[in-house]
C-alpha cells in the first residue's frame, strides 16, 4: 500500500535577512523495506536550529572539543566554541530538503526486519526532516519514546534535554549538594538542565538577561527547580555573596552566550562568588571545571 505525504521543503539556503524559499509538495511513499518504518508525524518543532540549517554557508565544523587549561591557581576544562550545528548534523541535507530537525511520529507500518511495531512513538534523528505528514525512515534513524506524554513534549526530546543531560554528566562528577551555574537558563536546554539537576539534588544558579519579563521567567525557573535566579549584570556584584552564602562553590559553569557573560561564569567557577577583587580569593584547585560554550550545540539553546 502506498501513502501520499505532504511535505514542506526548502529549496535553497539563504543568508541571514534574506527570504527563505519553501515549497509544499505532495509525495507518494513506497511501502517500508526490511528495516524501515512508515511513520505519521504527530508534532514537529520549529527552532532556531532549523533556521541555522537553512542559512548555513558551509558544512558543520566540530572544532577541537574539550582541552585541559591552567588558569592562575586552578586547572580547568575548556570547550572551544564550535559550530552550533555540529552536535546535531554530520552534514547538511541535500537540497531540496524537508525542513525540521525535531518531531515525534507514530509507526503506521514496519518492514519485516524491523523491531518497531505499529503504534510505537518514535523521534527521528536530525536530518530526516520532520516538516511532513508521513515519511519512510530507516529504523536506525528512529528512537522509540513513551507514548504517555504530550506529543509536543516528545517532539523536542531529541536535542535540548539530551544536551542538558550530557552537560551535567560529561564535565564534572556531580553529586547531591553540588552547585552548577548556567546562563541562558530560560532556553529549552537550560530549563531541562535545571529539572534534571533538581531531580539529583544538585543546586543551580540560573543567570538571565535583564528583560521586562525577568520576574515572570524567574518565578517559572524557581518553580521547576532553580535554586537561585539572578540577572546577568549582577553576577559580578557583591550581592552574589549573600545569594550564594548557603551554597557550595560552583563545580561547573555552563555557557551558552559567550562574551562577558562567559567570562563572568568562568570566574565564578575559579573563585566562587563574588569574583575576587584586588587579588583576593582562592581558586578551588582541581575541583574547578569550566565548560565554555558547551551549550551552544543546538542554537539551542
Q: Which CATH number fits domain 3-56+92-154: 3.30.43.10, 3.90.180.10, 3.40.190.10, 1.20.1440.230?
A: 3.90.180.10
* Distance, CA of 56 to CA of 259 (rounded, Å): 22
pLDDT digits 0-9 by tens, 61-71: 655 556 676 76
Question: pLDDT tens, 83-109?
Answer: 555 556 777 888 889 999 999 999 999
Which of 5-9, 60-64, 235-239 comes out lowest in average pLDDT? 60-64
pLDDT of residue 79: 60
Question: How far is residue 301's CA from residue 163's CA, in Å, rounded to a whole number?
Answer: 9
Burial 151-175 (b: 16+ CB within 10 A, else e): beebbbbbbbbbbbeebbeebbebe
Residue 287 has what pLDDT? 37
Same fold, 3-56+92-154 and 66-85+159-298: no
The tally of CA atoms less than 13 A away on the side-chain side of residue 245 is: 5
Is the separation of the CB atoms in 161 and 192 below 8 Å?
Answer: yes
Instruction: Retrieve residue 165's grid coordinates.
Output: 543531560
Q: Give the start-to-end residue ranges of the domains of the chain.
A: 3-56+92-154, 66-85+159-298
pLDDT confidence band for 209 (50 / 70 / 90): confident
- Which stretches does DSSP call E strand in the chain? 3-10, 22-29, 36-44, 66-71, 74-79, 97-98, 103-110, 121-124, 134-138, 142-145, 179-183, 203-208, 228-231, 250-254, 289-291
CB 59 within 8 A of CB 80: no
Task: Note the pLDDT tens digit of each residue in 23-54.
Answer: 999 999 999 999 999 999 999 999 888 888 88
pLDDT of 258 reads 73
Mean pLDDT, residues 5-17 taken together:
89
Instruction: Check whether 151 has a pLDDT greater than 90.
Output: yes
What is the distance between the alpha carbons of residues 101 and 299, in angstroms, rounded to a whole number?
12
The more confident residue out of 29 and 260 is: 29
Query: Confidence class of residue 278 from pLDDT cuts 50, 70 and 90?
Result: very low
Taking the C-alpha atoms of residue 232 and residue 225, their distance in angstroms, rounded to an integer, is 19
Q: How far is CA 279 from CA 189, 248, 271, 282, 283, in A?
A: 35, 21, 11, 9, 11
Q: Please count the other Cβ atoms lying within 10 Å of the Cβ belonging to residue 34.
A: 11
Report the alpha-carbon distance of residue 253 to residue 273 in Å, rounded: 12
What topology is assigned to 66-85+159-298 in CATH? Answer: Rossmann fold (3.40.50)
Terminal alpha carbon distance of the chain: 40
Residue 82 CA: distances (Å) to CA of 105, 247, 297: 30, 31, 7
Amino acid at each position: 500500500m502506498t501513502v501520499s505525504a505532504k511535505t514542506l521543503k526548502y529549496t535553497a539556503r539563504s543568508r541571514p535577512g534574506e527570504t527563505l524559499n519553501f515549497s509544499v509538495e505532495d509525495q507518494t511513499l513506497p511501502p517500508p523495506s526490511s528495516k524501515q518504518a512508515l511513520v505519521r508525524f504527530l508534532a514537529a518543532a520549529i527552532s532556531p536550529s532549523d533556521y541555522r540549517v537553512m542559512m548555513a554557508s558551509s558544512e558543520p565544523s566540530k572544532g577541537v572539543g574539550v582541552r585541559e587549561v591552567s588558569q592562575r591557581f586552578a586547572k580547568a576544562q575548556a570547550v572551544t566554541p564550535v559550530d552550533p550545528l555540529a552536535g546535531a548534523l554530520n552534514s547538511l541535507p541535500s537540497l531540496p530538503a524537508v525542513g525540521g530537525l525535531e518531531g515525534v511520529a507514530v509507526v503506521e507500518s514496519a518492514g519485516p526486519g524491523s523491531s518497531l511495531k505499529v503504534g510505537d512513538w518514535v523521534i527521528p534523528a536530525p536530518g530526516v526532516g520532520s516538516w511532513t505528514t508521513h515519511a519512510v525512515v530507516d529504523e536506525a534513524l528512529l528512537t522509540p519514546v513513551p507514548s504517555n506524554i504530550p506529543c509536543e513534549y516528545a517532539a523536542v526530546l531529541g536535542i535540548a534535554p539530551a544536551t542538558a543531560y550530557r552537560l551535567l554528566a560529561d564535565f564534572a562528577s556531580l553529586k547531591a549538594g553540588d552547585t552548577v551555574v548556567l546562563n541562558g537558563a530560560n532556553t529549552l536546554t537550560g530549563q531541562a538542565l535545571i529539572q534534571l539537576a533538581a531531580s539529583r539534588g544538585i543546586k543551580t544558579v540560573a543567570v538571565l538577561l535583564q528583560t521586562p519579563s525577568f520576574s515572570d521567567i524567574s518565578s517559572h525557573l524557581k518553580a521547576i527547580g532553580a535554586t537561585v535566579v539572578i540577572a546577568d549584570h549582577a553576577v559580578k556584584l557583591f550581592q552574589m555573596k549573600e545569594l550564594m552564602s548557603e551554597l557550595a562553590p560552583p563545580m561547573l559553569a555552563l555557557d551558552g552566550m559567550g562574551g562577558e557573560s562567559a567570562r563572568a561564569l568562568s570566574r565564578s567557577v575559579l573563585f566562587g562568588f563574588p569574583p575576587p577583587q584586588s587579588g583576593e580569593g582562592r581558586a578551588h584547585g582541581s575541583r574547578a571545571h569550566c565548560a565554555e560554550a558547551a551549550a551552544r550545540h543546538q542554537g539551542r539553546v
